[in-house]
A and B are shown apart, each in its own frame.
Chain A
Amino acid sequence: MKSLFTIKSGGAASWAIRVAVAVLLGAALLWVPTRGSDSLIETFTTAFTLMAAALSLNLLLGYAGQISIGHSAFFGIGTYVTAIAVTRWGWSPFVTLPVAFALAFVIGVLVSLPALRIQGVYLALVTLALGLVFPQVIKWKKLSWLTGGAKGLNDTGFKFNKDNPTYEIFGWNPWGNLRGQNVKPFYYWVGIIIVVIVYLICRGVVKSRMGRSLVAIRDNSTAAAVMGVNLAVTKGIVFGLSAAMCAMPGSLSAIRTGTVTPDTALLTVAGSITFLVIMVVGGAGSLWGPIIGALLYQFITERTGDWTDPDKIPGLFRPFFGWAQTSPGGGIFAMSLILLMFFAPLGIVGLWRVQSRRLCKVVSKPAGTATIYKTVPASAAD
């Protein structure tokens, strides 16, 4: 394929692009909580929640090829660990995050045990059943002393009171007012921290020996086993990690909304499908895919939220969706899911990777020119 520009990997142009992207990204992230409206901050915070969940699913599904439609259950475990610890035992909300992480890890590893025998669509079936069972367990009479049953739990959030400090930088406060007037930016930053943690864990796993094992399992598990990949351990760890990471945005949603019920959309199978849609539309098996997918999902969902009234639909879309009695957001995503499978199975990021090469091609350094670091002492090499 011919491209307009050709740049060298690690060269000045390549670094200039990287720095420009990082600066733009940082500026955009700072602009939202300081200059953006409250609803925009909310939108982004919800998008961060979805992002972290989709990233965790991506590690399991996009990289390891293990289908899961039960991630809403792991999300819900995070939500309920936080809610129960805060309301029943009076813990501070943010202390519950590592606990939720650990508990979801254990449950994820337990779920991986059947996954050692069950593959493909059967695993999808088991996880789908898990996703359906979770809200029912929460509503279960035998557990309602703990979970609050179908009514859910209240006051699960973080308490903003007069004693909370405020942190201002030269009179400029991007973190939100922790004394309770405007706390939205605070959750915005917590959301970013969670996304960054999840992203770094995913990146660490993917770029390591473990990540290569995952891809090997996805592409041909028999060959992977022959090459020395320990299927049981690898699948167990990736299931556990994925579940644990998915629990963190779940905890955040309990802290942020302050009330928890088992019928919240993200805790039911609808949530699992949302994560799946975000991941596939953004790009399965790429680190940036779920991030872009989540932003797109949240913005389209909010933009089309009031499209039940035909007069609110922009003229271009009115003939297509004017007849619909409910918001077309779900339909748009369902259709794009199907269409993407035909034209770009690797999602938006996959499409970008192919198309951007027409404009600009990055050539890696010729073999043998990289700096060699001696790791073996000269005396030992003799």
Chain B
Amino acid sequence: MELFLQRLVDGLSEGSIYALLALGLVIIYRGTGHLNFAQGEMALFSAYCVYQFGEWDIPIGIAVIMGMAVGFLIGATAEVALVRPIAKKSPFAVFIVTIGLFQFLNWLDGAIWGGQQLPNTGVGSKQPRFPHLFPSADTDFVRIFGAEITIKSLGTIGLVLVITAALFLVFNRTKLGLAMRAVASNADSAKLVGIRTSTVLMVSWGMAAAIGALGGVVTAGNAQSVSQSLMFQVFIYASAAATLGGFDSPGGAVIGGLTIGVIQNLAAGYAPDWVGQEMKVGVSFLVIVAVLLFRPSGLFGTAKVERV
């Protein structure tokens, strides 16, 4: 029972990270109908920035907010400078551009910070390890029904709940949120009633990248370091989460992320020989294929009806 509870909470905490990136994917998909393959790399760049701010003795709390600001800038710039002009040509061109951005950002991380894992005393890092947003020493846990639940797990889950609640308020209680929903529902009509769709899309991409940045920082915190390959698998988990929840449903993304996290952790925990750590990505792969085959719109998404 203790073990189950522990694995459940660990799964939820891992799932929270996927939920953060999946939220970013969904916000962008709702706005422009594109799948942003560079989502993970945008988050990784922000995580590298947070490392750099840490080197400059900026406390982690402020560093994370600055990292999110960097993420917002990258996302907004990518939309304005790359995606918008190219979207007129073809969806395929946007796909290629996001792949190009993926490769470019990954290369940029290496070019600025070098190819090795950071922090690294060999290259003069001051920090012993990548700072976690929440207390993460070995003694930072609470006992619930005998299970040792770490503070960082609870903190990560809480973080996602807070972000989800905030997004819910933004979508439903602010003018910006109303505009975003209008653009998602019908961009042309939204333009006709005077909504600045270009600003809305720019802000959507920025918001998505900023939320993703948070996911990147927590991932790096859990791994205690950043490296160029940190986000590859996390991105696939997040895509699986968004697919499961439905690509146009933010709530679905969160539930999908948590579900994927729990399934993976339980599978890895109870079938260490068959799944273990290395075949976690196999679980995601099966989820993606199964959902797309049997319910392409996901659990909470709206089915797309196309006129021929």
Contacts and interface: CB of A to CB of B under 8 A. Distances in A.
Contacts of A133: 281-282, 285
B74 to A, nearest CB: 14
Contacts of A328: 107, 111
A325 B95 contact: no
A129 B285 CA distance: 6
A334 B240 contact: no
A67 B293 CA distance: 17
A124 interface: yes
Contacts, number: 130
Contact of B110 (A67, A325, A338): A325
A130 B285 contact: yes
Q: Is the interface of A mostly helix, strand, loop or mixed?
A: helix
A140 B279 CA distance: 7
A331 B292 contact: no
Contacts of B104: 331, 334-335, 338
Given A137-B282, A334-B103, A341 B111 contact: no
Nearest to B294: A117
Interface centre among A125, A132, A136, A324 (most CB of B within 10 A): A125
A342 B154 CA distance: 46
A341 B308 contact: no
Given A114-B289, A117-B292, A118-B296, A125 B100 contact: no
Given A142-B274, A337-B103, A338-B100, A126 B292 contact: yes
Contact of B236 (A129, A334, A338): A129
Contacts of B85: 342
Interface string B290-308: 0011001000000000001
B107 A331 contact: yes
Interface stretch (B49-57, B86-94, B251-259, B260-268): B86-94
A341 B239 CA distance: 25
Contacts of B86: 341-342
A323 B113 CA distance: 10
Given A121-B35, A325-B113, A345-B93, A338 B107 contact: no
Contacts of B89: 341, 345
Contact of A136 (B37, B92, B278): B278
A312 interface: no
Interface in B74-124: 82, 85-86, 89-93, 95-97, 99-104, 106-108, 110-115
Q: Is the interface of B mostly helix, strand, loop or mixed?
A: helix
A125 B284 CA distance: 11
Contact of B97 (A125, A325, A338): A338
A82 to B, nearest CB: 23
A3 to B, nearest CB: 27
A33 B103 CA distance: 34
B284 A129 contact: yes
A267 interface: no
Contacts of A139: 278
Contact of B100 (A122, A124, A326, A337): A337
B103 A120 contact: no
A287 B115 CA distance: 36
A276 B96 CA distance: 9
A121 B285 contact: no
Nearest to A328: B111
Interface in A339-358: 341-342, 345
Contacts of A334: 100-104, 107
A277 interface: yes
A126 B232 CA distance: 14
B243 interface: yes
A230 to B, nearest CB: 18
B34 interface: yes
B308 A331 contact: no
Contacts of A269: 232
A310 interface: no
Contact of B289 (A120, A126, A132): A126
B276 interface: yes
A121 B292 contact: no
Contact of A326 (B34, B111, B296): B111
Contact of A114 (B35, B97, B282, B293): B293
A141 B274 CA distance: 8
Nearest to A325: B114
A100 B115 CA distance: 34
Interface string A133-162: 100110111100000000000000000000
A331 B96 CA distance: 15
A137 B278 CA distance: 8
Contacts of B93: 341, 345
A129 B103 contact: no
B285 A114 contact: no
Interface of A: 65, 67, 69, 114, 117-118, 120-122, 124-126, 128-130, 132-133, 136-137, 139-142, 222, 269, 273, 276-277, 280, 323-326, 328, 330-331, 333-335, 337-338, 341-342, 345
7 contacts: A121-B34, A129-B289, A141-B276, A269-B232, A325-B111, A325-B114, A345-B90
Given A124-B35, A333-B103, 12 more contacts: A67-B95, A118-B293, A121-B35, A136-B282, A269-B232, A273-B103, A324-B112, A330-B103, A337-B96, A338-B100, A341-B89, A341-B97
A-B CB proximity, top 10 nearest: A334-B104, A324-B111, A337-B100, A334-B103, A330-B107, A338-B100, A121-B35, A331-B107, A326-B110, A129-B285
